[in-house]
C-alpha cells in the first residue's frame, strides 16, 4: 500500500503530460498565432515605437528594388520568415495564387483584404495588359501601406485601393467602380465574412459563369461555413489546394470555387 501513492502520482503525471501534448497538437495553430500576435508583436511595438506593418514597409523601402514587384515580394518574405511573422499569403501559397491567376488571366480581379499589399503586388504583376485589380481594405492604415507598397513596386496604375468594409463596397462596384462582372475574386479578409460576401457578390450580379473564387486560410484559421456552402452547392465546382500557413509548418489550404451560374443542374 505504501507504493500506491507514488504509482498513482506517476500515472497522474503521465496522463497530464499526454493531455497537454494532445491539447498542444489540437490548438498549436492558435498557440502559434497567439504567441506572434498577442505576445511578440506588442513587445516589438513598444520597443520600436511603431507597428509591425510599418516595419515591413520600411524594410521593403530600404532593401527591395524600386519598380521590381518580385523584389518587393522576396523582401517581404525574407522579413516575415526571418524577423516577424505576418499574415501575408506567403511564398508557398503564393505559388498557387500565381498559377490560378495565370490560368484565369483576369481582366477584372477583386481582392477582399489587402493588409500590407503583398497579395495585391503578387496578383497585379501577373495581370494581362489592361487588366485591373480592385482591393478592398477596411483598415485605413493598412490601405495606406498597401498603396505605398504598390507605388514602390510600380503597379499603382493597375490597382485601385478602396477603403471600407466589403459588405459596404461590394454593392457599389457596378456603378462607382465601373465593374460589370468579375473574372476572379481573392478572399483573404475576416474569415467570418467569406460566406456572406460570396452571397452578396452573387446577389449583386457580380459573378458570371466561370468566375473564380480563390479563398485563403480555409483550413486554418478555417472557414467551415464557406466550405460547406460552395462544396455542397450545384452553383460551384471546387478544387482544394493543400499547403501551409504562411511562414510556418501549420497545415492550411486554399479553395478554388468556380461559379457555374444560377441555373446549374443539381448535383446527384
β-bridge mates for residue 215, sequence order = 187, 255
Strand order in the sheet with 251-259: 159-163, 132-137, 108-112, 182-187, 207-215, 251-259, 236-244
3-state secondary structure of 41: helix
Instruction: Check 216, 252, 255, 256 and give the catalytic one.
Output: 216
Closest listed residue to residue 83, CA positions, set 247, 244, 243: 247
Residue 257: burial class (beta carbons within 10 Å; 0-12, 13-18, 19+):
buried
Instruction: Check 52, 93, 191, 256 and give the catalytic one.
Output: 191
Would you say how long the chain is, in residues? 268
Separation CA 163–CA 140 (nearest Å): 6
> Is 141 an annotated catalytic residue?
no
Instruction: Check 188, 197, 252, 255 and give the catalytic one.
Output: 188
Q: Give CA separation, 97 vs 68, 213, 252, in Å.
A: 19, 11, 14
> Is 217 an annotated catalytic residue?
yes
> Is 92 an annotated catalytic residue?
no
What lies within 8 Å, CB to CB, of 36 at 6+ separation is 84, 85
Closest listed residue to residue 133, CA positions, set 92, 188, 65, 179: 179
Q: Which residues are catalytic?
A: 188, 191, 216-217, 246
Amino acid at each position: 500500500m505504501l507504493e500506491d501513492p507514488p504509482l498513482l502520482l506517476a500515472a497522474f503525471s503521465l496522463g497530464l503530460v499526454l493531455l497537454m501534448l494532445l491539447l498542444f497538437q489540437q490548438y498549436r495553430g492558435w498557440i502559434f498565432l497567439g504567441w506572434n500576435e498577442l505576445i511578440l508583436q506588442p513587445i516589438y511595438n513598444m520597443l520600436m515605437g511603431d507597428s509591425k506593418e510599418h516595419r515591413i514597409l520600411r524594410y521593403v523601402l530600404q532593401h527591395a528594388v524600386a519598380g521590381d514587384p518580385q523584389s518587393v515580394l522576396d523582401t517581404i518574405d525574407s522579413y516575415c520568415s526571418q524577423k516577424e511573422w505576418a499574415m501575408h499569403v506567403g511564398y508557398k501559397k503564393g505559388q498557387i495564387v500565381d498559377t490560378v491567376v495565370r490560368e484565369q488571366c483576369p481582366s477584372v480581379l477583386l481582392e477582399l483584404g489587402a493588409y500590407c499589399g503583398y497579395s495585391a503586388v503578387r496578383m497585379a504583376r501577373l495581370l494581362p495588359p489592361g487588366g485591373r485589380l480592385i482591393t478592398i481594405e477596411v483598415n485605413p492604415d493598412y490601405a495606406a501601406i498597401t498603396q505605398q507598397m504598390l507605388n514602390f513596386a510600380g503597379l499603382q496604375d493597375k490597382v485601385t485601393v478602396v477603403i471600407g468594409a466589403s459588405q459596404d463596397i461590394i454593392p457599389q462596384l457596378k456603378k462607382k467602380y465601373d465593374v460589370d462582372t468579375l473574372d476572379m475574386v481573392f478572399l483573404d479578409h475576416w474569415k467570418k465574412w467569406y460566406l456572406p460576401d460570396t452571397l452578396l457578390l452573387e446577389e449583386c450580379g457580380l459573378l458570371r459563369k466561370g468566375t473564380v473564387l480563390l479563398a485563403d486560410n480555409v483550413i486554418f484559421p478555417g472557414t467551415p461555413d464557406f466550405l460547406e456552402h460552395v462544396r455542397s452547392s450545384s452553383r460551384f465546382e471546387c478544387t482544394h489546394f493543400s499547403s501551409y500557413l504562411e511562414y510556418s509548418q501549420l497545415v492550411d489550404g486554399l479553395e478554388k470555387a468556380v461559379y457555374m451560374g444560377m441555373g446549374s443542374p443539381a448535383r446527384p
